[in-house]
Amino acid sequence: MWLSAGDFVGEESLAAVPGLRLATVTAVISCTALKIAREEMIRVMHEEHDFSDLFLKFLLDRSMRIQANLADQLFNSTEKRLARILLLMAEYGQPGESEPLLPRISQETLAGMIGTTRSRVSFFMNRFRSLGLIEYSDRIRVHKALLNVVLHDHLQDNNF
């Protein structure tokens, strides 16, 4: 799952047995994280209602993203999953950004994110590039036309 600035990680620990790790997070770019003790988080949620509202909205949004990711994994082709994760990383749908450069990310990492092999990612990345949907050498530039892969299955005919 791709996270953005201001997102929470480790929220599962609020409901888990203290000390039990349920998830692992890996940063693909340099970032700063703030560690909040479980007890402090629970206290703030009880006392600061604006924060509780914000956190609840985040949890609901995260739940919807997890459901979308599961449906994506179950029902979509590798090609469509790759297109979707590239678009999510490019944050299409957010105002003001057009064809942004993605952070440096390896094909191996992309493969892990969509549940396939690096060779399949390489195949589809080359295909997307030859069709003018992305550009890359050092970093990936995603073009809005890649949305057609996700929304309209335009490249579905050559999938296997």
> Would you say residue 143 lies in a domain?
yes
Look at residue 154 in the predicted model and tell me its pLDDT: 60
- For residue 53, the enclosing domain spans 11-72
Q: Binning pLDDT at 50, 70 and 90, where does residue 153 land?
A: low
Per-residue pLDDT, averaged over 24-44, amounts to 87
- Among 3-7, 53-57, 143-147, 150-154, which is the least confidently predicted range? 150-154
Q: Is the pLDDT of residue 149 over 90?
A: no
What is the separation, in whole angstroms, between the first and last Cα of the chain?
Answer: 24
Q: Binning pLDDT at 50, 70 and 90, where does residue 124 land?
A: very high
Looking at 29, 45, 72, which one is the last position of a domain?
A: 72
Look at residue 148 in the predicted model and tell me its pLDDT: 83
Q: Please count the structural domains in the chain.
A: 2
Residues 83 and 130 in one domain: yes
Q: Is the pLDDT of residue 158 over 80?
A: no
> Would you say residue 4 lies in a domain?
no
> Would you say residue 100 lies in a domain?
yes
Looking at 72, 88, 114, which one is the last position of a domain?
A: 72
Residues 18 and 68 in one domain: yes
Residues 68 and 84 in one domain: no
Alpha helix (H) residue ranges in 1-159: 38-47, 49-75, 78-90, 107-114, 118-130, 147-152
> Would you say residue 125 lies in a domain?
yes
Residue with the bigger pLDDT between 115 and 4: it is 115
pTM higher than 0.75: no
| Distance, CA of 11 to CA of 45 (rounded, Å) | 12
Residues 24 and 62 in one domain: yes
Residues 63 and 40 in one domain: yes
Per-residue pLDDT, averaged over 114-127, amounts to 96
- Name the strand (E) or helix (H) holding 140: strand 140-142
Q: What is the pLDDT of residues 53-84, one digit of tens each?
A: 999 999 999 899 889 889 988 998 999 999 99
Cα angle 154, 151, 58; round to 5: 150
> Would you say residue 38 lies in a domain?
yes
> Would you say residue 58 lies in a domain?
yes
Output the average pLDDT for the chain. Answer: 85
Residues 59 and 113 in one domain: no
